[in-house]
A and B are shown apart, each in its own frame.
Chain A
Amino acid sequence: MAYLLEGETGPWEIVVGLEVHAQVVSNAKLFSGAATAFGAEPNSQVSFVDAAFPGMLPVINEMCVEQAVRTGLGLKAKINLESVFARKNYFYADLPQGYQISQYEKPLVGEGQVIVDLPDGRSTVVGIERLHVEQDAGKSMHDQHPTKSCIDLNRSGVALMEIVSKPDIRSPDEAGAYLRKLRSILRYLGTCDGNMEEGSMRADVNVSVRKSGEDYRTRCEIKNVNSVRFVMQSIEVEARRQIEVYESGGSVDQETRLFDPGKGETRSMRSKEHAHDYRYFPDPDLLPLKLKPDFVAAIKDSLPELPDEKKDRFVRDYGLSPYDAGVLVVDRASADFFESVAKGRDSKLAANWVMGDFFGALNSTGKTIETSPVSAQNLGDLIDLIGDGTLSGRLAKDVFALMVETGKSPAALVEEKGLKQVTDTGAIEAVIDQVMAANADKVAEYRSGKDKLFGFFVGQVMKASGGKANPGMVNDLLKSKLAG
C-alpha cells in the first residue's frame, strides 16, 4: 500500500532521499595522525593539520580508504578506481581550513543499493547514488559562554562517508527502515559504529511532495537529524508543511531547514543559506586517489556475510520465518549468538529462547550480547537439559533466571539447587501415594465422578516434589493410581 498524506485537494505522495554522514571507524583522522576517540578534552585530539595552521598539508589515512571501499562493496556499489578529492569552500568557525576536503565530481563509490525490510513484511529497494569520503568539521558550542561560541576541533578532520540515496523513499517508515538497514550493514562491515547519540551517524533529509504521477517538485533539505525517530518525524512534519503551502496557493522554496523535535516543526535556516557558493575545485595538496583492482578484490574477498545473505541462509538452513530471521540478523552479534546456540540443536527452539527469554533478559538488565551474563554456550546447554529431560520447560525458565542473575552454567545451578527433574517411577509413585493418603476424601470424590479434581492432585504432587517431578510421568502415574 502506498503511503499517502491526505490534503484538502486529495492525496499526496512524499518523495524522500537521505544523505547519511557516517563516521569511519579508524584510529586516526582522514588526513592527519590525530586520534578520533569520542569524548576527549577539548582540542586535545587536534594536530596542526586539523587546526589548519599555515603550511600544514594533508596525507591520507589508508584505513579510511579501505573502509570506504568496504562499505561501497557492502552496498553492492561500483568502486571507482580513480577518484578525486576536492575542496568545498565556505567559512564557519568550526571549519578551520575555510574549506572541507570532500569529493565532488569523482566520488570513490558510485551507484549501489540497499534492500529495505518494512514492518509489514514487505521489502523494497532503495538505490544508492554515491558514496564519498570527506572530513568532518569541529564543534561549535553556543551555550557555554554568555557572549561567545566555543570551538572544539577534536572532530575536525575525522573521516566521514557521505552515503547519498536516490529519492526512492516514499514514507517515514521506509526512511526509518532504510536507516536501520544501512546502520546494520555498516556495523556488519565494521566501517561505522552507527552510534547516532555520539553523532557517528547523522542524516540530511531531502523531502518533497507530489501528486501521483507527477514529476518531482521542489525539495527542502532538513539538516543534521540525529536519530531514526527524528528522521521519520521530520519527514512527516515537513511533508505536511509543504502540502499546506501548495494547498494555500503558495510555492515551496528550495532551502535548508532545521527540525525542532521539541516543537515538532521544521524551520528555515535561510540565514545560513545566504549566498552559498562552495567553489569546489580539485585539492592541489592531494593527487587523484587511484586504486589497484587487486586492492579492491582483496577487500571484497574479506567481506563478512551481510544481513541479507545471512537472513536468507537462516530461512533456508534453520527453517526460520523471514520475520524471525530478520530480527536475528539485525546485528552481527545476535546473529552469531543465535548460530552458536542453534548449532546441533532444534533451531526453532533455539530461536525462541534467543528472541524470547534471552533478548528479554538483555532488555530488562540493560546489557548487550557482549556483556551478557548468559553465554551462548550456557544457553545451548540449557536447551540440551530440556532435550534430555533433565529439566522441564518450567524448571528451565527458573534456571535461566538464575543464569541471568549469577552468570553460572545451567548444570552447576541444577546441581547446586537440586533442580534436577525427578523421573524415577518409584519416587514419583511414593509421592502420589503420600498425597492420596493425605486427601482420602478427595480421592473418594474423584472416584465418584468428580474428574475436575485431577488438576488438584497434579498440583499437589508437583508441590510435594518441589516442582521437580516430570510432569508427563506425574500425569500418567496419577491417572492409573486414581483409577484404583
Chain B
Amino acid sequence: MSDLTHLTIAEAEAGMDKGDFTSVELTKAHLAAMAKHKDLNAYITETPDQALAMAERSDKRRAGKQAGWLEGIPLAIKDLFCTEGVQTTAGSHILEGFKPPYESTVTANLWKQGAVMLGKVNLDEFAMGSSNMTSYYGAVKNPWKRQSDAKDLVPGGSSGGSAAAVAACIAMGATGTDTGGSIRQPAAFCGIVGIKPTYGRCSRFGIVAFASSLDQAGPMARTVKDAAIMLKAMAGHDPKDSTSTPGPTPDFTKAVGQSIKGLRVGVPKEYRPEGLSSEIVAAWDQGLAWLKEAGAEMVEVSLPHTKYALATYYIVAPAEASSNLARYDGVRFGLRVPGQSLDDMYMKTRAQGFGKEVKRRILIGTYVLSAGYYDAYYAKAQKLRTLIASDFKQAFTKADLLLTPTAPTPAFAIGENLDDPITMYLNDVFTIPTSLAGLPGLSLPAGLSADGLPLGLQLIGRPFDEETLFKAAAVMEQAAQFKRWEAR
C-alpha cells in the first residue's frame, strides 16, 4: 500500500469506497505520521483515541451505505473551534485546559459528514498574527525549507498549524479561520489551497471570536477539489449565528472542472506597488497567462482605497477584539491568577493570560473606542471600510473575479519580522481588503520561488460566488501542476 497520507480527500474516498483500505487504516497512518512530525509543533492537542473511535464508526456507516461527503477522512481542527470535551485553547495561556461543553457548528457539520478528528492544531494566539509565532504553545515550523539555508521557516498565520499539518500530510485537510488573511497567507506559505468564503457562509457559532465582523471559517486542503468538498460540508445557514446567510449552499465540487471561457479576470493595478518582488510579479503573470490560455479575458480594474485597507483593518479588528476578549476574566473558565480584589484578579489574570501581541491589540482597540477618539479612529475606519467595499463593487461591474498575489513574500524564517509590529502586519496587505469587504478569497500555490518556496496567488470573487473561484482555481491548479509534498 502506498502512503495513505499522501492521498487527496477525493482519492481517499474512492479508495475506501472500493474497499482498498478503511478509515481506521487511513487514520492510523495519519496518527503515525503525526508522531513522526512532532517537531513541526503543528498540533496543540492530539486526539488519537477519539480519532480511532470516530474512524471505526465511520467504517460501519460506509458498510451500511450511509457515507457522508467526508466519510472517514481524518482532519485537523484549528484550535479556535470549540470541540465538545476536547481542550480548546485559541493558542492562548488564558484558555489552557478549557474544555467546551459544546461543539462549534462548523465542526459539527464536518462530523455529520463523517469526518474524523485527529486533533486540534496550533495557531497565533486568538488568531492574531501572520506567523504562528504568537502562540502560547510555541511556534509551528513550515514543512518547507529554503534551498539556500536550513533555517526553520514560519508556516504563516494565524492558521499556521492547519497549513503545516496539511502540507506535511499529517492531516488530509484542516479547518482554518480568516480575519485578515489567516487562511490564505499560511496556505500560500505552505503550498496548499485555502479559501476564506464570503462572510456569512460558514457559521461563527462556537468559534472563539477575534473580530466578529471579519471572522470567517474556511477549509485548507491540498487540492482545489478537496477544499470544495470540505467547504460544502462546513457551510450552511445556522440560526445560532445572526450573521449567517439564509441562502442555500451550492455544491462547490460541481464547479471544479468547468470551463472558464469568457470569464473576465480583473487585475487590480494597486496590487502592483513599487518594490513588489519580481518573483511574486512573475508568478502573478504566470497565473494570468494560464487563465488566458483557458479562454478567460483580462481586464484592468482599480481599487483606489487599497492603500488604506491595512490601517482600516488595524483599527476595526483590534476594536472588536478588545470587546470580544473581555470575557476572558478568570471568572467562569480558563486561567485565574489570584488577586487582592476583583480588579486585581482581572488585571493579573489578563496580564499573564494574554501574550504580547494580543495585549497590544486589546490596548489599541480600547484606545480607538475610548471617549474622544471614537470618531477620529473607529468611525473613520468604518467609513473607509465602506469605500473599500464599494471599490470592489465597482471592480466587479467590469470583472467576474480578480487575481492577485496572496502575500508580498514567500515564507520567512522563524524570528524574523518580529521587531516592528507594522512590518508583520504588511504580510496581509493583499488579503485584508477582501476581508474588510466580506468577499470570498481563495489562495492556491502557483509555483516556487527561486529559493524553492511556494508562492500563492489569490482569487477574489463576488459575494457568495465561491463557485467562480473554484472554477478558475481548478483551471490554474491543472496548469500549475504544483508539486505538492514531493517538492520539499
Direct contact of A and B (CB under 8 A): yes
**Residues of A with Cβ closer than 8 Å to B?**
48, 51-60, 87, 89, 91, 93, 96-99, 149, 151, 277, 279-281, 284-287
> Top 7 closest A-B pairs, CB basis?
A98-B326, A279-B369, A284-B213, A284-B212, A55-B206, A52-B327, A54-B208
Question: B100 — which chain A residues lie within 8 A by C-beta?
Answer: 53-55
Question: A287 — which chain B residues lie within 8 A by C-beta?
Answer: 242-243
Query: B103: nearest residue on chain A (CB-CB)?
Result: A55
Interface hub of B82, B100, B320, B332 (most chain A Cβ within 10 A): B332
- Distance, CA A200 to CA B374, complexed state (A): 34
Contact A57 B323 (CB under 8 A): no
Contact A59 B329 (CB under 8 A): no
A-B contact pairs, 29 of them (CB 8 A): A51-B332, A53-B82, A54-B98, A54-B333, A55-B104, A55-B207, A57-B240, A57-B241, A57-B242, A58-B242, A59-B241, A87-B323, A91-B326, A91-B343, A96-B327, A96-B331, A96-B332, A98-B329, A151-B331, A279-B322, A279-B366, A279-B369, A279-B374, A280-B369, A281-B320, A281-B323, A281-B369, A281-B374, A284-B212
B133 interface hit (Cβ, 8 Å): no
Contacts A53-B100, A55-B82 known; A286 to B323 CB distance under 8 Å? no
Chief secondary structure at chain A's binding surface = loop
Contact B205 A53 (CB under 8 A): no
Question: B242 — which chain A residues lie within 8 A by C-beta?
Answer: 57-60, 285-287
Contact B240 A89 (CB under 8 A): no
Question: A54 — which chain B residues lie within 8 A by C-beta?
Answer: 82, 88, 90, 95, 98, 100, 208-209, 327, 333
| Pair count A-B, CB < 8 A | 98
Query: A278: nearest residue on chain B (CB-CB)?
Result: B371
B346 interface hit (Cβ, 8 Å): yes
B319 interface hit (Cβ, 8 Å): yes
Contact with A along B418-459 (1 / 0, CB 8 A): 000000000000000000000000000000000000000000
Write the nearest CB–CB distance from B219 to chain A, whole angstroms. Answer: 18
- Distance, CA A87 to CA B212, complexed state (A): 13
B204 interface hit (Cβ, 8 Å): yes
B295 interface hit (Cβ, 8 Å): no
Write the nearest CB–CB distance from A45 to chain B, whole angstroms. Answer: 15
Query: A87: nearest residue on chain B (CB-CB)?
Result: B323
Contact A59 B326 (CB under 8 A): no
Contact A99 B323 (CB under 8 A): yes
Residue from the list A58, A89, A98, A151 in contact with B369, Cβ < 8 A = A89
Residue from the list A57, A96, A280, A286 in contact with B204, Cβ < 8 A = A57
- Distance, CA A4 to CA B254, complexed state (A): 80
B370 interface hit (Cβ, 8 Å): yes
Apart from A48-B101, A53-B100, A53-B102, list 9 A-B contacts with CB within 8 A: A51-B332, A55-B206, A55-B208, A57-B205, A96-B332, A98-B325, A99-B323, A279-B369, A286-B242
Query: A33: nearest residue on chain B (CB-CB)?
Result: B240
Contact B342 A98 (CB under 8 A): no
Contacts A277-B370, A281-B378 known; A93 to B213 CB distance under 8 Å? no
Write the nearest CB–CB distance from B239 to chain A, whole angstroms. Answer: 7
Question: A48 — which chain B residues lie within 8 A by C-beta?
Answer: 101-102
Contact B326 A284 (CB under 8 A): no
Question: A87 — which chain B residues lie within 8 A by C-beta?
Answer: 323
Contact A279 B333 (CB under 8 A): no
